[in-house]
Amino acid sequence: MRIHHYGIEVSDLEISREFYQKILQLNHGSVVEFQGEELVFLSSNAFCLELIPKQQKQNQKGTTHLCFEVNDINQMITRSYDYGLKALEGPYILSNGWKTVFFEGPDHEILEFLEVDVGYVKD
């Protein structure tokens, strides 16, 4: 298991993309569509940052999270359930074939587990 990315909410994807590309010298990685929103990934050799459009709704939990890349998401889900955790969201298959699930940690932190090599073939 390794850290895959850190996701933050931003009010303007384009302004934030330009800012992080300039200040951290991150490269434009990819754009993934998820539940009707575009998520922007910026990366360097050792770090990946996910930019998430900030929701305008009040009383909604934030989406700032730490994501761990795992080899087998189903095994991670089973282990999490065995530990007494329940999924906040997912599992989902993203438009690029990644498989993901979100859990809440003991201090209400959001943890994402991500399997990037799932043998997904898009029609």
3-state SS, one letter per residue, for 20-87: HHHHCCCEEEEEEEECCEEEEEEECCCCEEEEEECCCCCCCCCCCEEEEECCCHHHHHHHHHHCCCCE
What is the pLDDT at residue 119?
60
pLDDT at residue number 118: 63
Using the Cα atoms of residue 7, residue 31, residue 47 and residue 112 in order, give the sign of their dihedral: positive
CATH topology of domain 2-115: 2,3-Dihydroxybiphenyl 1,2-Dioxygenase; domain 1 (3.10.180)
Neighbours of 40 (CB within 10 A): 20
CA distances from residue 109 to 10, 12, 29, 65, 67 in whole angstroms, order as listed: 18, 24, 25, 7, 11
- pLDDT per residue, tens digit, the chain (123 aa), is 888 899 888 888 999 999 889 977 889 888 998 888 899 999 988 789 999 888 755 445 667 888 989 999 999 999 888 888 888 999 999 989 999 999 987 667 788 999 997 665 554
pLDDT of residue 58: 44
CA dihedral 102, 106, 108, 112 (to 10 degrees): -20
